[in-house]
Amino acid sequence: MPEKQVIIAERAPKAIGPYSAAIRNGSMIFTSGQVGVNPQTGELAPGGVAAQTRQALQNLQTVLEAAGASLGEVVKTTVFLSDINDYGSVNSIYAEFFDQKPPARSAVQVAALPKGAAVEIEAIAILADE
């Protein structure tokens, strides 16, 4: 059985708690949820849910790259929304990042997200060359 490898993504926002940015086990990569925090400022991206979604997906992309993967290898995402009415705005930005063969996805409304974020996105990727 492959050994679990902790992924450290230096260019992504720092963890807000005791967790890893991602875990790689063989060809599978499991990311922690990414909110729309700008890694340079440590603050949520200004501009509402669309800006936070874009930043969250950029952060997710950075974490995947640190693990040796890309958005193209993502097979499943989960989108957490503080307000399900933001679904349309999130969807339009999400489609820019996953325009070819989008992964399976769940989207749910939650009571609250870290830092008061409007959206959080996590992913599972499978490396094609493994």
Write the pLDDT tens digit of every residue in 56-99.
999 999 999 999 999 999 999 999 999 999 999 999 999 999 99
> 84: Cβ–Cβ under 8 A, 6 or more apart, which residues?
107, 108, 109
Residue 111 has pLDDT above 90, yes or no: yes
Q: If you count them, how many residues does the chain have?
A: 130
Give this prediction's pTM. 0.95
Percent of the chain with pLDDT over 70: 98
Q: Which CATH class is domain 4-126?
A: alpha beta
Q: Which two tokens stand for residue 116?
A: 């008061």
What's the rounded mean pLDDT across residues 33-41?
97
* pLDDT tier, 130 (very low <50, low <70, confident <90, very high otherwise): low
- Mean pLDDT score across all residues of the chain: 95
